[in-house]
Amino acid sequence: MNLTLKVWRQANSQAKGKMETYKMEEVSPDMSFLEMMDVLNEQLMTQGIEPVAFDHDCREGICGMCSMFINGEAHGPDRLVTTCQLHMRKFKDGDTITIEPFRAEAFPVIKDLTVDRSAFDRVQQAGGFVSVNTSGNTQDANAIPIDKHDADKAFDAATCIGCGACVATCKNASAMLFVSAKVSQYALLPQGKVEATDRVLSMVKQMDEEGFGNCTNTGACEVECPKGISLENIARMNREYLSASLKG
Amino acid sequence: MAKQDSKIPEGPVADKWNNHKGKINLVSPANKRLIDVIVVGTGLAGASASATLAELGYNVKTFCFQDSPRRAHSIAAQGGINAAKNYQGDGDSTYRLFYDTIKGGDYRSREANVHRLAEVSTNIIDQCVAQGVPFARDYGGLLDNRSFGGVLVSRTFYAKGQTGQQLLLGAYSAMNRQIGRGKIKMYNRHEMMDVVVVDGKARGIITRNLVNGKIERHGAHAVVIASGGYGNVFFLSTNAMGSNVSASWKIHKKGAHFANPCFTQIHPTCIPVSGDHQSKLTLMSESLRNDGRIWVPKKLEDVKAIREGKLKPTELAEEDRDYYLERRYPAFGNLVPRDVASRAAKERCDAGFGVNKTGEAVYLDFAAAIMRYGKEQAHVKGLDENDAVLVKKLGQTVVRSKYGNLFQMYEKIVDQDPYETPMMIYPAVHYTMGGVWVDYNLMTTIQGCYAIGEANFSDHGANRLGASALMQGLADGYFVLPYTIGDYLADDIRTGPIDTQLPEFEKAEAAVKAQIEGFISNKGKNSVDYYHRKLGKIMWNKCGMSRNAKELKEAIKEIQELREDFYKNVNVPGKADEFNEQLAKAGRVADFLELGELFAKDALERTESCGGHFREESQTPEGEALRDDENFTFVSAWEYKGVPAKAKLHKEELNYEEIEVKTRSYK
Amino acid sequence: MTLTASSIGRKVTMALSGIFLVLFLTQHFSINLLSVFSESLFNQVSHFMGNNPIVQFILQPILIFGVLFHFVMGFVLELKNSKSRGVKYANYKGGTNASWMSRNMIYSGIVILSFLGLHFYDFWVPEMNYKYVEVLPLNPDRYFEELVHKFESPVRVGIYALSFVFLSLHLLHGFASSFQSVGINNKYSKALKSFTTAFSLVVPLGFVFIALFHHLTAF
């Protein structure tokens, strides 16, 4: 396949960026998108152009590090995949592909397609945990039976990989899907219920301070989420937050 | 300089850990506040150690090269975590887990460490559940288990195919709690460039801030390396792109012995290579072997027809298929340990029976399982068990619920539907049992420098059992290191903060800067990946699934030449003081180019076959691995002497007091 | 109060004021619909609504506050949201993952707001003038005529109809969305969604029907 790439280039967080156009030839449809980017970088280096910086690590869709906004969609046109799992067979010969970083005020660009998502870490640090010491002297793991349905729902929420596609996709750059996934995971488990009130209040507070937008229930996040995290989690967090606020 | 003493406590193996804990030096809570500990890496071992050390009261500084500690590659582990809980009542016990791990490791691991691992395994599950890790449960609300390759009990706890992710996020959350409390200072996007040794003690590290290229000094009273394994020396592996040996290798060059570098695990169920552009390999959980049957065609003409697309695998009659694992190992069948399954696949493919274009793939077939589950479901639901279409549909639903995410992943990559046609798989480098040599306290041969998780060597011998890596990472981090480190730090309560202006820091920083300057100003003609790929090819072809003296010697020579060429001709674009991925990669590949040579040297030295290390010169007439216990029941620990070729071998003899050393047989 | 300070709190107040406005819309629609069937009944009910002190001095101010709150908060949120992404995408395919309605609430809202201006000018201002400024004598039978009179102009009916199309679009997302905002998303949500969709189509189109009905039958 022959492709035209329009890629966002920005030297560092202070610099002004712009889109650059690169031509690619003989791209194999079996390549993953990031492998195509590797080839692009090899090509750029032989031309004496600095390679495009982009985040990536596991390349199997679980670490959540890759983060491109491809042809107007987070992680590109395919569903339930991250950029590293997107394959070139999803594109056609002669296509023009625009590649931009995940954009949000809370995700400042570091270089080219690399952004800083540490806002997510800070939201987790505000309360995304169960306050149990790691001494190993807790009760036996089977001491509290947990309804399988609740356990399964908690698991589904917990599969969030923290990639930020929800924020990147949302027209408001809202982080509600991400935050609600963590709040839900713990709200559904007896171990997490103990400090549910404080958790939801402080995580939402931190989320707001980071400068994410408001949720307007467009549902775009759920569609673009590579792990298919459900909007139900946002509703659950709204519920948790309301009851926590009323409790004081 | 460094003395190698394994410090195994006295007494019967079952009592060693308890006795040792009772006698160990402690640091009082008030004094812990005066002590700084550096942890490099935030996988299961690093994250859990950081959390626990901070909880105990130490000031912890934790470093990772990714943009967040949650990205560490432990997250990609799929299958599960072992623990001797015996919830299933199938005869499991601490002893049996201990025994299975020693046997699985082909009698090349340290008994005392493995027993301790089995002892603390149950605490891990309790701990993780308390943290809100959503393990799979049965309808009664209790934890579910499955069985995993190479053992006869169901002791593996899991969270669908994402157990590593859930456990890592659990450890990450424990860490977050301490970051929030200010007890851990987290440094994302920082790479450790060197360790600083003062008067024989590890007193800090030099790091590079990957965002702005700043070289920084960090002092501490102890340094913990939890930076994972070195599978990426093969270029293509199931490791993450950024996984590297550098932290381990830097401490090796400063005095830490490196043990058993040639013990590498090749995982049998990975998605085959599709072309030259391939950047990494994707593993599919070994749990697939519980239900999938592995085969290749019996006749070469069928292989040819399949490769040319004239014959579909589903059209091949039962009698024309060779279920070679079931044939060779009737007792364990498709569930033989990883090394055995991998070698058997290679043997068939080398004989010309590989089923894809490159001839490097075998089938993993779920058709039988789908029909079996379908019949079961039809029976339960009172439907017609002879209606093949219905049975297939019901069976597919069961298989989807068990392996849905893996099947989806396969389909995304290969573009074939594994519910309808058998999967193609081939072995790939997955885990490295070898690593930094540590004593019973997990301390390396540098005082105050520790190695935990995959970065050390101690628990898996020559081959790791499935679902044991997660267990070891968390055991080291949550329950072992935080205690044993106190023994060393007890002497440091009066030391005060480490002065990073010491000449040792000065010197280490200057060396780091010089290396970076060298790369940037080199302006060669080949990219870093060019060398990494070449190194990978040498490693895979000559130090891969089976090894022989001739090729290993060639490999050593080729790696030496490649390394020389690398320093002459590598091209690192950009500047030192900016976000520069190529520069970061160059440093890592430079270390791989040294490790690779030591790897081959170690493999050459060990003329026996054991676990993941198969020497063609040492096999039975049937082609099974042949161990040489008389001459090789030891750990090879290598001391750095300027270049890998001059590395000095220290042997740690392995004494099996509790377990009788036997030939490993899965027949 | 934390409820209007936090993002979720604002979202909840947006939802609650929205649901309140939907309730108001329902009763407004019911009364208007009477005009199609019975002139006298319509007059009776209108007179009651126009002169009952509870409706006039308690419910009416609440309603006005509700409307004001809903649109002020709507703008506040829109402003905050557009600031949350300073540099916009060069290529953004919002249509592939979210409905037009959900992405353009601010525009449908603005159309509705302008319509409300017209509506106030048409009905509410004369009404207030009649009752409280000029204090004209009570006339329980004037309402129907006033209504029919307003729908004589085809231009006005056209504007009216167009505005209700936007109201429909606004409701199609907003009504269902308000339940999600207050935390209701469960096994009944599918049925609820069908109900809100039906409501969002039937009620605005019903208003249009009433307008057309009077426009066409007035001659």
What was the ipTM of the complex prediction? 0.98
Q: Is B563 exposed, middle or buried (0-12, 13-18, 19+ CB in 10 A)?
A: buried
A126–chain B Cβ distance below 8 A for any pair: yes
Whether residues A60 and B127 touch (CB distance < 8 A) is answered with no
DSSP code for B463: S
CA-closest candidate to residue B193, choices B211, B215, B224: B215
Whether residues B73 and A30 touch (CB distance < 8 A) is answered with no
Give the C-alpha separation, B280 to B266, whole Å: 14
Q: C102 to chain A: which residues are within 8 Å by CB?
A: 216-219
- pLDDT score of C219: 60
Q: Tell me the pLDDT band of B402, cut-offs 50, 70 and 90.
A: confident
Could you tell me whether strands B190-198 and B201-209 are parallel, antiparallel, or unpaired per DSSP bridges? Answer: antiparallel
Report the residue count for chain A.
248
The mean pLDDT value for A39-65 works out to 96
Does the annotation count B338 as an active-site position? yes
Give the C-alpha separation, C2 to A202, whole Å: 12
Q: Tell me the pLDDT band of B161, cut-offs 50, 70 and 90.
A: confident
Give the C-alpha separation, B370 to B291, whole Å: 9
Collect all residues with Cβ–Cβ distance below 8 Å to B402 and sequence separation of at least 6: B287, B291
Which tokens go with B305?
């027809």
Residue A114 reports pLDDT greater than 90:
yes
Q: Do chains A and C touch (3 or more CB pairs under 8 A)?
A: yes
CATH number of A117-247: 1.10.1060.10
B412–chain A Cβ distance below 8 A for any pair: yes
Q: A211 to chain C: which residues are within 8 Å by CB?
A: 84
Question: B512-626: which CATH number, 2.30.40.10, 3.40.50.150, 1.10.3660.10, 1.20.58.100?
Answer: 1.20.58.100
Could you state, in order of their start, the residue ranges of all structural domains in chain B? 268-428, 512-626
In a domain, C87, yes or no: no
Asked if residue B547 lies in contact with residue B616, where contact means CB atoms within 8 angstroms, the answer is yes
Whether residues A80 and B75 touch (CB distance < 8 A) is answered with no
Amino acid in the structure at residue B173: S
Q: Which residue has the higher pLDDT, B261 or C124?
A: B261
CA-closest candidate to residue A200, choices A176, A223, A218: A176
- pLDDT score of B275: 84
Which tokens go with A187?
């709200």
Residues 67-86 of chain B with CB under 8 A from chain A are 67-73, 75-76, 85
Query: Which tens digits make up the pLDDT trace of C131-184?
Result: 889 888 888 888 999 889 889 999 999 999 999 999 999 999 999 999 999 999
Domain containing residue C199: 14-79+101-217
Amino acid in the structure at residue B663: T
Mutation target to probe the A interface, by most A beta carbons within 10 A, among B62, B169, B582 is: B169
Give the C-alpha separation, B73 to B164, whole Å: 9
Q: Tell me the pLDDT band of C2, cut-offs 50, 70 and 90.
A: low
Asked if residue C91 lies in contact with residue A72, where contact means CB atoms within 8 angstroms, the answer is yes
Q: Is B71 exposed, middle or buried (0-12, 13-18, 19+ CB in 10 A)?
A: buried
Q: Determine what percent of chain C is predicted with pLDDT higher than 70.
A: 98
> Which is catalytic among the residues B338, B343, B606, B627?
B338
CA-closest candidate to residue B156, choices B179, B183, B187, B124: B124
Helices and strands in chain A, H and E counts: 9, 7
- pLDDT score of B147: 84
A244–chain C Cβ distance below 8 A for any pair: no
Question: B268-428: which CATH number, 3.30.70.20, 3.90.700.10, 3.10.50.40, 3.40.50.300?
Answer: 3.90.700.10
Chain-wide mean pLDDT for chain A? 96
From-to residues of CATH 3.10.20.30 in chain A: 3-111
Q: Determine what percent of chain C is predicted with pLDDT higher than 90.
A: 82
Whether residues B177 and A131 touch (CB distance < 8 A) is answered with yes
Give the C-alpha separation, A164 to A179, whole Å: 11
3-state secondary structure of B462: coil
Asked if residue B427 lies in contact with residue B447, where contact means CB atoms within 8 angstroms, the answer is no
CA-closest candidate to residue B408, choices C65, C161, A226: A226
In a domain, C4, yes or no: no
Lowest mean pLDDT among A135-139, B207-211, B502-506: A135-139
Whether residues A129 and B130 touch (CB distance < 8 A) is answered with no
In a domain, C89, yes or no: no
Give the C-alpha separation, B602 to B233, whole Å: 15
Q: Tell me the pLDDT band of B285, cut-offs 50, 70 and 90.
A: confident
Give the C-alpha separation, B580 to A52, whole Å: 10
Q: B240 to chain A: which residues are within 8 Å by CB?
A: 57-59, 63
CATH code where residue C72 lies: 1.20.1300.10
In a domain, C91, yes or no: no
Whether residues A155 and B160 touch (CB distance < 8 A) is answered with yes
- pLDDT score of B573: 96
Residue B403 reports pLDDT greater than 90:
no
Q: At residue B205, what are phi and psi to the nearest 5 degrees?
A: -140, 160
Chain-wide mean pLDDT for chain B? 95
Q: Which residue of A has its CA nearest to C180?
A: A235
Neighbours of C, requiring at least 3 CB pairs below 8 Å, are A
Number of structural domains, chain C? 1
Mutation target to probe the A interface, by most A beta carbons within 10 A, among C2, C3, C7 is: C7
3-state secondary structure of A8: strand
C190–chain A Cβ distance below 8 A for any pair: no
Whether residues A216 and C85 touch (CB distance < 8 A) is answered with no
In a domain, C27, yes or no: yes
In a domain, C95, yes or no: no
Q: Within 13 Å, how many C-alpha atoms sit on residue B195's CB side?
A: 35
Query: Which tens digits make up the pLDDT trace of B336-388?
Result: 888 889 999 999 999 999 999 889 999 999 999 999 999 999 999 999 989 99
Residues 107-166 of chain A with CB under 8 A from chain C are none
- pLDDT score of B1: 46
Q: What architecture is domain A3-111?
A: Roll (3.10)
Query: Which tens digits make up the pLDDT trace of B518-544?
Result: 999 999 999 999 999 999 999 999 999
From-to residues of CATH 1.10.1060.10 in chain A: 117-247
The dihedral through the CA atoms of B235, B236, B240, B241 has a sign that is positive
Q: Which residue of B has its CA nearest to A28?
A: B277
Q: Determine what percent of chain A is predicted with pLDDT higher than 90.
A: 97
Give the C-alpha separation, C69 to C76, whole Å: 10
Q: Tell me the pLDDT band of A84, cut-offs 50, 70 and 90.
A: very high
DSSP C102-145: HHTHHHHHHHHHHHHHHHIIIIIHHHHIIIIIS-PPP-TTHHHH
Query: Which tens digits make up the pLDDT trace of C178-207?
Result: 999 999 999 999 999 999 999 999 999 999
Collect all residues with Cβ–Cβ distance below 8 Å to A46 and sequence separation of at least 6: none
**Closest Cα in chain B, distance from residue A26 (Å):** 12
CA-closest candidate to residue B364, choices B295, B268, B466: B295
Q: C73 to chain A: which residues are within 8 Å by CB?
A: none
How far, rounded to the nearest angstrom, does the alpha carbon of residue B655 sit from its chain's CA centroid? 25
